[in-house]
Amino acid sequence: MSDKPLAPAIEGWHTMEVKPHLIGTQCKGCGTYFFPKNQAYCRNPACDSTDFREVELSRSGHIWSYTNACYKPPEPFVAAEPFEPYAIAAVQLEKEQMVVLGQVIEGVSCEQLKVGMPVELVLEPLHETDDDIKMTWKWKPVAP
Amino acid sequence: MSNEIAILGAGMHPWGKWGHNFVEYGVAAAREALKDAGVPWQDVKFVSGGATVRCGYPGYVAGATFAQALGWQGAEVNTSYAACASGSQALAAARNKILAGACDVALVVGADTTPKGFLAPAKGYRPEDPDWVRFYLGITNPTYFALYARRRMDVYGDTLDDFAAVKVKNSRIGSKNPRARYRKCFSAEDVAASAMVADPLRLMDICATSDGGAALIVSSVEYAERIGKGDAPRVAAISTTTPTFASSVVEMPDIATDSAAAAGVEAHAFRSTLPLKAYEEAGIGPEDIDLAEVYDLSTALELDWIEDLQLAPRGEAAALLRAGDTAIGGKIPVNVSGGLACFGEAVPAQALAQVCELTWQLRGEAGDRQVAGARVGITANQGLFGHGSSVIVKR
């Protein structure tokens, strides 16, 4: 990796700390969480609120399911050459009662994953541009 | 019984990768359905088309496009787009027209020409588009089906052999379907030897995209009786319900599910709620079903659908499969057309193709694929943005 500055791959979707959080919103009317952020209208059919607060989502959860990508995805994905397969996890967040997708950290394969396994959120490079290294959230297994 | 309409005719253009204009497939399917029904084109007063979004403006106004191609004769038209449920919504529009007494006979038709390779999102930096986001983060269509498949393995104990057995079963019966694109019988070894795409799904666990067309001629029951076809199969129910908040299963193209954190909100799985309205509308239950045509985008997804349609208790579809009960001759044959495994996906035609198969089966005209004594069949499919459908056909 180069010494280019780090930048979020998608601006405003997560914090850039060592122990990062996804940034979502919460409806002030009913408490429903949204990720990605929703600040326009609550999607709970019993709530017509248009008031939201920005919130950091739980940075740990349990694996709902997992898979991997054996083939290079099409654009806008930016693939390294040669392409290295990576694992993907769908993670259940307890407090938010929702499932969030993300890649699993480099070096972890499907054989090392299991439904129900605890994971935490970290940042890793997604790809590099001329100016910076684009960082994204990934799930990392933690010892139970 | 006042909500029923009759299926007088069914037709399909063989599926493949023909590379022709989609209108050709739709016209061929429509003409076969008209001939099958014995109804002159001029008697059709409503043309309900499933839209294709890949073939330019004619695809957006598919109903009118097919009406023009078959020869303008003054019929009213409708076009429905509902992703994989487009055909069912087009059928629902025709049913509404007929039940409202506004027409006697309608043509329902869908056809598609699919591009080669990946379906990629529009270019640029567009984080407001969930489809762009997930591709940027490296999450493709097979990811979602693989997540569902892996969950079956870890939670219910399904195996790779089970998923391969679905492909073997569907290829065996599909080899006898002259309209299918893939007619080779594959073995479990063939599946195991195919490339891993998204663990645990291999290339042969995942369906392709195809060119194809399907059409139905439907009418009021009174019209069917008048032309001596009072015993034609009936559409007994159409469900096109959307999910109920909070939708608990992460669906393409989303990066996250709804949150069920608010008071009074429960998590619901969309696929299992979809058929409930169909059963209620038809006034029957899963025990009455003789055969099912389900949306096997992946082999493992066929097993999910069997449970979602309540044809097996949750987690027990693989046991049904292992016992041979979902094959022809079994207790509840599933995808005796060969399913998407043998056809591939042609979005606006798919839901109609399922009803075509049930029509032939219920008429006892399915030849080598015939399910003995079939009286009641159900379909299921699901597409992007909360679209899905389940249709019950009975005789």
- Using 50, 70 and 90 to split pLDDT, how confident is the model at A144? low
- Using 50, 70 and 90 to split pLDDT, how confident is the model at B385? confident
Burial class (CB in 10 A: 0-12, 13-18, 19+), B347: buried
Interface test mutation site (partner A, options B119, B137, B160, B298, max chain A beta carbons within 10 A):
B137
Bridge partners (DSSP) of residue B216 are B10, B108
B196 contacts in A (CB within 8 Å)?
Answer: 70
A64 contacts in B (CB within 8 Å)?
Answer: 147, 151, 250
Check pLDDT > 90 for residue B1: no
pLDDT at res. B384? 85
Q: Find the mean pLDDT for residues A36-50.
A: 95
Q: Do A76 and B123 touch (CB under 8 A)?
A: yes
Name the residue type at position B377. G
pTM surpassing 0.90?
yes
d(CA B389, CA B378): 10
Higher pLDDT, A133 or B124: A133
Check pLDDT > 60 for residue A1: no
Domain assignment present for B184: no
A94 contacts in B (CB within 8 Å)?
Answer: none
d(CA B372, CA B84): 29
Domain assignment present for B193: no
- Using 50, 70 and 90 to split pLDDT, how confident is the model at B236? very high
Domain assignment present for B132: no
Q: What does the pLDDT look like over B73-122, one tens digit per residue?
A: 999 999 999 999 999 999 999 999 999 999 999 999 999 998 876 667 77
Number of domains composing chain B: 1
pLDDT at res. B74? 98
pLDDT at res. B122? 76
Domain assignment present for B86: yes
pLDDT at res. B121? 77
Q: Find the mean pLDDT for residues A21-45.
A: 97
The domains of chain A, with CATH numbers, are: 59-141 (2.40.50)
pLDDT at res. B117? 63
CATH number of residue B334's parent domain: 3.40.47.10
What sign does the dihedral B34-B39-B42-B43 (CA atoms) show?
negative
Q: Is the peptide bond before A144 cis (omega within 30 degrees of 0)?
A: no
Domain assignment present for B187: no
B269 contacts in A (CB within 8 Å)?
Answer: none
Q: What does the pLDDT look like over B256-279, one tens digit per residue?
A: 999 999 999 999 999 999 999 999
> What separation in angstroms does the CA of B307 have from each of B270, B311, B313, B317, B381?
13, 6, 6, 6, 13
Domain assignment present for B140: no
d(CA A106, CA A140): 9
Please say whether the beta carbons of B374 and B212 come within 8 A. Answer: no
Q: Which two tokens stand for residue B173?
A: 């019966």
Cβ within 8 Å of A, B 15-54 = none
pLDDT at res. A2? 73
Domain hosting B320: range is 5-118+208-394
- Would an 8 Å CB–CB cutoff place A31 in contact with chain B? yes
Q: Do A35 and B255 touch (CB under 8 A)?
A: yes
- ipTM score of complex: 0.97
Domain assignment present for B31: yes
Q: Find the mean pLDDT for residues B377-391.
A: 93
First-to-last alpha carbon distance for chain B, in angstroms, is 12
Can you tell me which residue has the tokens 């307890």?
Answer: A94
Cα torsion B120, B123, B125, B126 to 10°: value is -60
Q: What does the pLDDT look like over A85-131, one tens digit per residue?
A: 999 999 999 999 999 999 999 999 999 999 999 999 999 999 999 99
Task: Return mean pLDDT, chain B.
Answer: 96
Q: What does the pLDDT look like over B126-184, one tens digit per residue?
A: 999 999 999 999 999 999 999 999 999 999 999 999 999 999 999 999 999 999 999 99
Q: Are strands A86-93 and A133-141 parallel, antiparallel or unpaired?
A: unpaired
Q: Do B257 and A46 touch (CB under 8 A)?
A: no
Q: Find the mean pLDDT for residues B225-239.
A: 98
List all residues 6 or more positions away from A16 whose beta carbon is below 8 Å from its beta carbon: A6, A8, A123, A135
Q: What does the pLDDT look like over B36-82, one tens digit per residue?
A: 999 999 999 999 999 999 899 999 999 999 999 999 999 999 999 99
Q: What does the pLDDT look like over B333-347, one tens digit per residue?
A: 999 999 999 999 999
Q: Find the mean pLDDT for residues B203-209.
A: 95
Domain assignment present for B33: yes
- Using 50, 70 and 90 to split pLDDT, how confident is the model at A3? confident
